[in-house]
Amino acid sequence: MWLPRPVYEAIPYASMAAGAALGGAAFFLERGPRGLLFALGGLCVTVGLMLWMRRRAYRAGLRDYAGRPLDD
């Protein structure tokens, strides 16, 4: 599946923002599915961080292998 570069680059940040929003919503709710919102928020933040770290490590490996900076 092909995604435009700006969309592809925004996925980790959007996932982390959604997780923070879910966690914040759960914090301010007085009743309802607070535990579920906290769990989903934590999952979204974790997925976003994993994507960001894997991309960073991959790009660092390419720089080390090629010996020159990538076009960003």
Tokens of 16: 């982390």
For the segment 8-34, what is each residue's pLDDT rounded down to a tens digit?
Answer: 999 999 999 999 999 999 999 888 899
Provide the pLDDT confidence category of residue 71 given band limits of 50, 70 and 90.
low
Tell me: pLDDT of 72 over 60.
no
Name 12's Cβ contacts closer than 8 Å, sequence gap at least 6.
48, 49, 51, 52, 55
pLDDT digits (tens, 9 = 90+) for 29-70: 888 899 999 999 999 999 999 999 999 998 888 777 766 655
Domain ranges (residues) in the chain: 5-65
The pLDDT score that the predictor gives to residue 70 is 57
The CA distances from residue 59 to 2, 9, 13, 47, in Å, are 19, 13, 17, 18
